[in-house]
Structure 1
Amino acid sequence: MPPARPTLRTGIEEVDPRHALDVPRLEACLRAELEEFEGILDVRQFVGGQSNPTYLLSDGTRSWVLRRKPPGKLVSSAHATDREFRVLSALAGTDVPVPRVRFYCDDEAVIGTEFYVMDRVEGRILVDQTLPDWTPTERRALYDSQLDVLAALHRVDFQAVGLDDYGKPGNYFARQVHVWSKQYTASQAEPDERCASMERLMEWLPENIPADETTTIVHGDFGLNNLMLHPTEPRIAAALDWELSTLGHPFADVTYHLSARLFPTSPFQDFDEAGLRAAGLPTQDEYVAGYCARTGRDGISDLDWYLAFHLFRTAGIMFGIAGRAKAGTANSDQARSLGASAVPLADRALEFARALGA
């Protein structure tokens, strides 16, 4: 019997008591920072994310979105709301659709952690990337739009928009393997929690990195769940959740979606290539070709290494979520079920690595 697919909720609800805000202090801050703020502050919370708690703010007439670091003890490199704010500010005015950011607050006395506020972009967040109930024409249009946005991001001159020090050019994958190895290790409190597949990948991946040092801005989490869709049309209205963005290799973003198709619980597992084409969903080869056509590349060599890396990376993220769920700091009740996917993801990554000689 195949593993159950975790159900991710999206939407807006009352604020989780674990992430409650000091509303009067926040309202005073908003009045000082937003000239147009009037009325009485109402705060609700978006559900579905696993990282930085996100809130809908309203004064009865207008609305904004607040992103904050979660409360509690955190991994030092995680939940970088300041980096999100910086990259969103830099991308304003480029061909990459992003929300307009309004201000950043590093005064933890306001709501207990650092946060930033941005304009709300109206639209839809979709979790199932096979887009059930859509027509083949609509699916093709949305994936074309996704690739348009990704190609636009990778064409941005990061030096011209002031992000030349946003990351370290070169050695991106070596640094990424180190980061997620460190997170995995930190999440394993007991020796008997160690994962054999992760341990082997931590040795093999850095020794077999493809020799390509292309550097662009990378989003780091470029799935449909982090893209705001137009309310009615099959196109992207805004790219969200830039917490993992940095300067890095563009193939990391390209293969992010392709690796997600390989998850044991992915709905893409229900499709063969003929089924994908009939449904209007790009095959792996078509997705790569579409990206390369938009960016002037001939193709992506070493694709299997990049897929092994991404599955490893996602496993590292899930191990981190599992560790935070155990510690009581995870951002949703879905954290435990997501954390349970860590080992199968690591095992799948090792399958790709073994095909390459690991």
Structure 2
Amino acid sequence: MRADHASYACGAALGFLGDLAAGDPRRGHPVAAFGRAAAAAERLLWRDHRAHGAAYTALCAGGAAAAAALLTRTVRNATGSPGAEVALTAAATWAVLGGTSLRREAETIGAALAAGDLAAARERLPHLCGRDPHALDEQQIARAVVESVAENTSDAVVGALVWGALGGVPGLVGFRAVNTLDAMVGHRSPRYRRFGWASARLDDLAGWPGARLTAALTTVAGPDPRGARRAWRRDGGAHPSPNAGPVEASFAGALGVRLGGTLAYGGRVEHRPVLNAEGRPVEFRDIARATRLSGRVAALALTASIAGRLAGAAARSALRGARAGRRPTGSRGGAA
């Protein structure tokens, strides 16, 4: 097995542990730096046209992945040290994962609701999702938090690990760049309906495998596997998002709660289908249950992604060996 695959496995595990221990830094986060660069590019490139948005997406996401590939190649060629590749992979994994900060934000809101401090919960909710919190009651805030934990378990953890397993450090960085662009310009506001179209569609494509793996792992890690499978199969396709639907439905079934329904984003009201309609309304106690489920899913995703990368490397190595064994060893020339 090539050393770079083993280096990736070690680095991904170390980066995952780093996120568990420290979460996101309050200042100087690499993703925030990318966001500032993308915002500067938007000011230069914005036009109310899909083609300009596609160019912007290619420049930002493609540039981030290309820079990561160049850095990986430079580290490999300049040092020749597996330890340097492990360190680079660990740093990239820690930078793109957001599971610990996600769970901390959710638990902060849950603690405010448990203390009866609805005002504090409303004030904190925008740190987790883009919904308008001012008209939300306790149950609606709890539902918003559980839905955000479910969706971001896929976006901030599992999806990144999947693309890391497929593409190494460039896969990690490229996925986080695409996901960040979708958060910045992918929503359907008048300004971004055309310009953000490419970012939103690319995020749908990039998030597809991670969302399905998240839903599948939820059926394993949740307290009600059968309920998770049933809700995913029945309700996952009803959600307007092709990736949030399976994840939120499986979380709803696993936790025995009802998600979906009416919600508001920046003055825009949406009426979404109900997920797991036979479940009970979400309570503030369900926030802690959702964060524990998110943590278990994340740990399983790390195991699955590393195992998948190592198994793929072993299979490719075996295939190359088999081809080499079939190759003729004698002269191809005619008779003397």
TM-score (norm 1): 0.32
Greater CA radius of gyration, 1 or 2? 2
TM-score (norm 2): 0.33
The structure with more strand, counted as a fraction of residues: 1
